[in-house]
Amino acid sequence: MEIISGIHKIDGVRGANCYLVTSGPEMVLIDCGMRGSSRKLADYMKVLGKNPSDIKYIFITHADIDHAGGAAEIKHLTGAKLVIHQAEADVLTGKEKGKQVKGLLGLLFKLLAPVVRLKTVDPDIAIRENTELAGFKIIQTAGHTAGSICLNQPGKVLFAGDALKSDHAGNPMPPSKMMAADIVQAKASVGIIAALDFDTLLVGHGAPVKGKASQKVKEMLNNWQ
């Protein structure tokens, strides 16, 4: 589904939203959903008349399995360079465990862990600080996880991963307290996002926020109790 010109949401991907950017200096994919996503991506690329090898970079906003579960297979399919923040890299490689979720949801995740397991993969680029790559300004927005990142095309679009959510009507919502590694840090990161310039907000979970999206985030932040 094309959301705005040159930016698509890959249909049928399980887990987090998976976005394909066909405009700009390089074709890129942002987040990979769960395992099995490579088939959905290949089918979507065929509809567009593109080849998976046209994708040059895969950005992972953070290493939670619903965003990174399909990373290994999609990297194999495309040959693209896999990019993630340094604080998340060892989760992808399997050297470290991912974020520990508390409460009943955390217990459920532990029970599912033997079945729903991240296939390890080595990133090609581990970002250490705010930088620019493939036409994006990449900003660390820690809180949901230590190495969460957002990708901004100033004046156009911001990809927020799980630093923000949205409802079905396309209104921005605060990140989940239950799922955040540090909710105080997460709120500070929303402040960083609110200071950026973007017309469309695309999140890991929820509908696109279209039209004056940065202003809508500012208003949501002001009303956050």
At 118, the pLDDT band (50, 70, 90 cuts) reads confident
The per-residue pLDDT for 99 is: 66
With a cut of 80, say whether residue 7 has pLDDT above it: yes
Higher pLDDT, 92 or 118: 92
* Mean per-residue pLDDT of the chain: 92
Task: Give the Cα separation of 168 and 18 in Å (integer).
Answer: 17
More confident residue, 117 or 91: 91
What average pLDDT score do residues 40-49 get? 97
Instruction: For residues 33 and 69, give the distance between their C-alpha atoms in angstroms, rounded to a whole number.
Output: 6
Express each pLDDT in 169-211 by its tens digit.
999 999 989 889 999 999 999 999 999 999 999 999 999 999 9
Distances (CA, A) of 3 to 19, 144, 148: 9, 25, 23
Looking at the whole model, is its pTM more than 0.85?
yes
Reported as half-sphere exposure (CB side, CA atoms, 13 A), residue 125 has a value of 17
pLDDT tens across 149-171, in order? Answer: 999 999 999 999 999 999 999 99
Q: Vertex 223, ends 217 and 225: CA angle to 5°?
A: 120
Indicate the domain borders of the chain. 2-222
Identify which of 194, 196, 195, 216 has the alpha carbon closest to the alpha carbon of residue 207. Answer: 216
Residue 111 has pLDDT above 50, yes or no: no
Question: In the predicted model, is pLDDT for residue 130 greater than 60?
Answer: yes
pLDDT of residue 112: 46
Provide the pLDDT for residue 108: 43
Tell me, what's the pLDDT at 109?
A: 46
Whether 89 has a pLDDT exceeding 60, the answer reads yes
The CA distance from 214 to 217, in Å, is 5
pLDDT at 72 over 80: yes
pLDDT of residue 107: 44
CATH class label, 2-222: alpha beta
Average pLDDT over residues 214-225: 94
Residue 224 burial (CB < 10 Å; 0-12/13-18/19+)? exposed
Q: What is the 3-state secondary structure (H, E, C) of the chain?
A: CEEECCEEECCCCCCCCCEEECCCCCEEEECCCCCCHHHHHHHHHHHHCCCHHHEEEEECCCCCHHHHCCHHHHHHHHCCEEEEEHHHHHHHHCCCCCCCCCHHHHHHHHHHCCCCCCCCCCCCEEECCCEEECCEEEEECCCCCCCCEEEEECCCEEEEECCCEECCCCCEECCCCCCCCCHHHHHHHHHHHHCCCCCEEEECCCCCEECCHHHHHHHHHHCCC
Q: Note whether 157 and 199 are within 8 A (CB).
A: yes
**pLDDT more than 90, % of the chain:** 86
Query: What pLDDT score was predicted for residue 96?
Result: 87
Residue 101 has a pLDDT of 57
On the question of pLDDT at 133 being above 90, the answer is: yes
Give the model's pLDDT for residue 102.
60
